[in-house]
Structure 1
Amino acid sequence: MTPNPNAAFKPGKTSASEKAAATDHTARAIVAAEKVARDKKTEKLKAMRLERAAAEPAAEVVPSKPSRKSPKS
């Protein structure tokens, strides 16, 4: 059996547009995955914040005494 020069170890040539499309696709996939992770984290933190706010007793607003102004001379 003679070796074939077009064997599996020789990759075919790809055009610049194919390389750019592959890079673009990969970059968009990474950005989308990061967005999903960020949104998931935001939702988790929001739920924790609301849970903590519900657990705290509501702070009552105590009206402060009006400050006295010194009489003008």
Structure 2
Amino acid sequence: MTATRQQFFKPTKVSAATKAAETDSAAKTIVAQEAAARDKKTEKLRAMRIAQEAAQPAPLPTPKKRK
């Protein structure tokens, strides 16, 4: 089997609209993944904060100073 030009190079050019659509799709996928990771991290940190606040006793009110 011999190597031909068609095996290595695409004979047709990709339109600008197709390239833009691929780029847009890739960008939206990345943004969605980052948003999902951020939401997951936020929920984890919120749960940790609530657990930590529940473990701490309520602060005692400080007596007011008299003059």
Specify if TM > 0.5: yes
Q: Compare the two structures and name the one with the higher helix fraction.
A: 2
Q: What is the CA deviation profile of residues 24-59 of structure 1, one whole-angstrom value per residue up to 9, with x for unaligned ones?
A: 000010000000000000000000000000000111
Match of residue 60 from structure 1: 60
TM-score normalised to the size of structure 2?
A: 0.82
TM-score normalised to the size of structure 1?
A: 0.76
**Structure 1 unaligned regions, length at least 5:** 69-73
Match of residue 17 from structure 1: 17
Q: CA RMSD in A?
A: 2.0
Q: Which amino acid aligns with 1:8?
A: Q
Q: Which runs of 4+ in 1 moved over 2 A?
A: 1-5
Identity of aligned residues (%): 52
**Structure 2 unaligned regions, length at least 5:** none
